[in-house]
Chain A
Amino acid sequence: MFKRISFTVNGKAFNYEVDVRESLLEVLRNRLGYTGAKKGCGVGECGACSVLIDGVPFDSCIYLAVWADGKQITTIEGVASKNGDLSDVQKAFVEEGAVQCGFCTPGLVLTTTALTESGKDYTREEIKRELSGHLCRCTGYQDILKAAEKSLEGHICTCVDSPHYKQQQAEKVEER
C-alpha cells in the first residue's frame, strides 16, 4: 500500500510515493540517501535517528513516513552551510571533543540546534533534560553537555535567584 506525500528535506522539496509500512528513517536513509540519521535501537530509546520535523526533534525510527506529509524535515546534512562551513553548534561539538564514533552525534547536534533556535533560556538542568533522549556509548556526556552549553552561550539561565532556577533545584531535591 503506497501513499503519495509531499515534504521537504533540508529545504529540498519531495513529492514521493511511500510505502505505509516504512518509517521516516527508512525513507530518509534507504530511498533518499540521507544517511546522517543513524539506525540504533529502532524503538525510540537511543535517539541516533533523531531528525527535526518542523523544527522539533523526533525519533524517525518510530515515525511513519506517511506522517511526514506537509512537514519540513531537517537532517544533519542540512545543518552545515551550503559551502560546507560547519554550524556554530557543530563547531562547538568539535571544539569540546564531544564527537567520538559519531553515531549519536547527528541527533545530539540536531537537538542542540533546536534548542538554540527556540529563543528560550535554559538552566543547566534543563539542557540535560533536553538531551536525555540521546544515548552516547563512547565519550561520556560531559563534553557533550559542554558543547551544548557553548552553543547556548548567552541563553543559559544561571541567575540563582530566579524563580525558574529555584523551581528546577526544588524539583531535583524532591525527586531524591
Chain B
Amino acid sequence: MYDIKGYYEAETVNEAVALLAENPNLKIIAGGTDVLIKMHGGQLEEAELLSLRKIKSLETIRRAEDGSIAIGSMATFTRVFNDPILRETIPILTEAAISMGGPQIRNIATIGGNVCNGATSADSASSLFALNAQLKLQSQQGERLVPIREFYLGPGKVALKPGEILIEILISPADYEGFGGHYIKFAMREAMDIATLAVSAVCKLQDGKFEDVRLGLGVAGPTPLRCLEAEEYAKGKTVSLETLSEIGKLAVKSAKARTSWRASKEYREHLVEELTQRALKIAIVNAGGVELV
C-alpha cells in the first residue's frame, strides 16, 4: 500500500484551487507515474494527495483564437502523440511524447505532471523550451503566465507558488509558424529509458540564412536549458556546415553537464556538440531548407 495519509479529488479547477488554498500541504497527483513511484521508493512519505484526474477540462488540446496552441496540463503523452493539431503544427512535441516511457506509462502520464516534476530529463521539456512555451498557472488569486525558462529553478524544483496549479501550456504562433524542428532523444535503448541527452532544435530560414534558431537541451544541466549564445550567433548566418559546427561548439558553452551514472560530463558535452548539429540539419530540411552533407 502507498503511504497516503489523505486523498482529495476535485472535479473542476476552481474546486482544486479552493482545496489547495485550504490545505497548502496537499501534493498534486496527475497521472501518478512520478508521485506514486516516489512513494514506492520512500522519497515521499505520508502524502496528502489532491488528484486532478477528474478534471476533464484539463485534458483538451486546442488552437486558441489567436492561433496559440493550448495544451491542457492533464493531456496524456498518448493524447499528445496522437493529437492532429500538434502533429501538424509542432511535431517536435509529438516526437518527444512517443519517446517517453512505454505505452502503459504514456497512457496515463501527463504533460503537466512531466513539467511540474521538474526533472531535467523530462521528455517534453527540451521541446517546450525550444518552443518558448508559456505556462498558465492558476490559484485562488487568479491566473498568471510564466515562461517555461523561468519555471525550472533547480533539480526537481519549479516555480509553482503554494496554492498554484499548472492548467495549460501555451505556444504562440510566432514561436512555431514558419519553423522547422527536430527532436533527438539520445538514450541507451529505444524504449522505457531516461535520456542521456535530449536536444530539441527549431529554426526559421530566409534566403539561405538563419532567421531564427532555438535550441532546447535536456540533461545537459540541472534543469532543461536553452543555448542562447549559439542561438544569438546563428541569427543572420548562412546555413552551412561551418555555421553548424560553430553552433555546436557554442551550445557546449551553455550546457552545464555533469557526470552521472548514465554518462560522464565529457561524453555529454560531446553529445551536445554533435547532436545539436544533427538535430539542426533535419530541422533545416523541415523548415524548407536544403540538406547539408
Taking Cβ atoms with an 8 Å cutoff, the residues of A that contact B are 1, 3, 19-23, 26, 42-45, 47, 50, 56-59, 62-64, 66-67, 111, 129-130, 132-135, 174-175
Contact = CB atoms under 8 A, between A and B. Distances in A.
Contacts of B107: 56-58
Interface in B92-111: 98, 101-105, 107-108
Interface of B: 1-4, 6-7, 9, 32-33, 36-37, 40-41, 51, 53, 98, 101-105, 107-108, 182, 184-185, 190-192, 282
A42 B38 CA distance: 11
Contact of B103 (A3, A45, A67, A133): A133
20 contacts: A19-B1, A20-B4, A43-B37, A43-B40, A45-B192, A57-B103, A57-B107, A59-B108, A62-B36, A62-B37, A62-B40, A64-B7, A66-B7, A129-B98, A130-B103, A133-B101, A133-B104, A133-B192, A174-B282, A175-B185
Nearest to B183: A174
Contacts, number: 85
Contacts of A44: 33, 37, 101, 104-105
Nearest to A57: B104
A175 B184 contact: yes
Contact of A132 (B1, B3, B37, B191): B191
A44 B191 CA distance: 13
Contacts of A42: 40
A172 to B, nearest CB: 9
Given A44-B104, A57-B104, A133-B105, A1 B184 contact: no
A73 B36 CA distance: 21
- Sorted nearest first, the 8 A-B pairs with minimum C-beta distance are A133-B102, A132-B191, A20-B7, A21-B1, A133-B104, A62-B36, A21-B4, A59-B104
A22 B40 contact: no
Contact of B2 (A45, A64, A129): A64
| Interface SS, A side | mixed
B268 to A, nearest CB: 18
Contact of A21 (B3, B103, B185): B3
Contacts of B108: 58-59, 62-63
Contacts of A43: 37, 40-41
Given A21-B1, A175-B190, A62 B103 contact: no
B36 A64 contact: yes
Contacts of B104: 44, 47, 50, 57-59, 111, 133
A65 B75 CA distance: 21
Contacts of B1: 19, 21-23, 26
B174 to A, nearest CB: 27
